[in-house]
Structure 1
Amino acid sequence: MQVEVRTTQDGSSTLYVPALDEHYHSTHGAVQEAVHVYLGAGLEPAMAKGKSPVRVLEIGFGTGLNAVLTLQRSLTATVAVAYDTVEKYPLAPDVISSLQAERYLLNPELLSLYEQLHTAAWDEAVPLLPRFLLRKITGALQETHLASNHYDVIYFDAFAPEKQPDMWTEEVFAQLYEAAAPGCLLTSYCAKGSFRRSLKAAGWLVEKLPGPAGKREMTRASKQ
């Protein structure tokens, strides 16, 4: 898959896919979107409960942005993080090296950890820090076995519904509902009505939240 590196409005990098006419992150700011949607609306409320480890499932590893920001947050957290991420199309090493990933990080000294996120073996648990366990899973989400009642947070970061419609079905959200622990929060940048209806049909309790810069709304769902 051909991709192009683009700089977003907060100075951080994203990738553009010409074949889909789609960006990996918001052009209004890749980092600010990730912090607002996934850490702010999902990870932080889960961490506040005090459970350890917080079990995170990310749909779409992509550039590793959500993962490295979560790892960075875990350095100052009082709880550990077990981070699973599912990716059907891992990026090539030369694409990763072109991203200027230091722009993702509050502390540039963490750049080596960002590199370790990408060089870590796939399909096995890899402890990157004493309190951060990474497991990168290759393949399609629909074909991935996920433990039942397991995850505390789900980052749903697939390409937009019109670009990747097979990822936004009631069946997918039912699969994730089964994998979610009671109280699990699923967060997404997407605010489409069809997305929310599919979540509700799969059993999720859905709410609208203010979106990141450039978007009026985002979606958060919970398992009761």
Structure 2
Amino acid sequence: MTTDDGSKTIHMPDLNEQYHSRHGALQEALHVFIDTGLEHFLEVSLSRKRNFQQNPIKILEYGFGTGLNAMVTALHDSKTPIVYTAVEAYPVNDEEVKAMDYGKLLGNEEMYEDIHQCSWEERHQISNHFSLTKQQKTFEQIADQDSYDLIFFDAFGPSTQPELWTVDIFTAAYNALKSNGVLTTYCAAGQVRRNMQSVGFIVERLPGPPGKREMLRATKSL
């Protein structure tokens, strides 16, 4: 389906759910994960240490899906290297990848093709400043410890799949982050916020993307 900003998403009738916001798939990705996530992390981290740009940012995405979040991150104009890991239990098929056409939308068809055609479970250098590792597994199988600076949490909504928004899931996410690491998500549900807080996150409610009043940003502060 075509969303309100002209970008496309996948609609799943059996779940009555979309991979991205109907109000604008691209706008949502940029607002939630780039502006409120990556840009925020760069600003805070640069204020802490002068040589931050020499160190890569490690990002973990919960829900690779159509590859849109990875694509806009790869195209970000920061010179800071980004090491991106994306977890997806059920990859989209080639027909769906072609239908999304994000490469044409974002002006880099070669990069979009590389992101989807590169093999799983291996690290690939997509551009000079962006590497990608795609892992086919469930969220429950994530067991990293103190490994990531940023988490992009882009699971299907809690009304559709509440098992992806539990205390156990957020405990693993908290453990996967380094100290002062940040998690961003489009979701602002009260129970989700409380689950995040119960595992130790400091949680902010922030203005959401078009069509959503609020979103959440959570910080691991130790």
| TM-score category, normalised to shorter length | over 0.9
Cα distance between partner residues in 1 of 2:213 and 2:78: 30
Which residue is equivalent to 1:83?
Answer: 84
Following TM superposition, by how much is the alpha carbon of 1:103 offset from its aligned partner in structure 2, in angstroms? 5.5
Q: What count of residue pairs does the alignment treat as equivalent?
A: 213
Match of 2:121 among 120, 123, 135: 123
Is the aligned partner of 1:42 residue 2:20? no
Provide, for residues 130-160 of structure 1, a one-character-per-residue CA deviation record: whole Å limited to 9, x for no partner: 22110001010111332x1111111000000
Matching residue of 2:15: 20
Q: Which residue of 1 aligns with 2:61?
A: 58
Of 134, 149, 155, the match for 2:146: 149
* 43-52 vs 126-135, greater mean Cα deviation: 43-52
2:130 pairs with 129, 132, 135, which one?
A: 132
Q: Secondary structure at the match of 1:13?
A: coil
Q: Kindly state the Cα deviation for residue 124 of structure 1 after the two structures are TM-superposed.
A: 1.1
CA distance in 2, matches of 1:129, 1:102: 14
Whole-Å separation in 1 of the counterparts to 2:91 and 2:68: 13
Residue 191 of structure 2 aligns to a residue whose secondary structure is helix
State the TM-score, normalized to the length of structure 1: 0.92
Q: Percent identity at matched positions?
A: 41
Deviation, structure 1 residue 102: 3.8
8 Å contact kept, 1:55–1:82: yes
Q: Does the aligned pair in 1 maintain the 2:204–2:218 contact within 8 Å? A: yes
Does 1:176 pair with 2:173?
yes
Structure 1 runs (4+) deviating above 4 angstroms are none
For the aligned residue pairs, the C-alpha RMSD in angstroms reads: 1.1
Correspondence for 2:201: 204
Give distance in 1, aligned partners of 2:121 and 2:33.
23
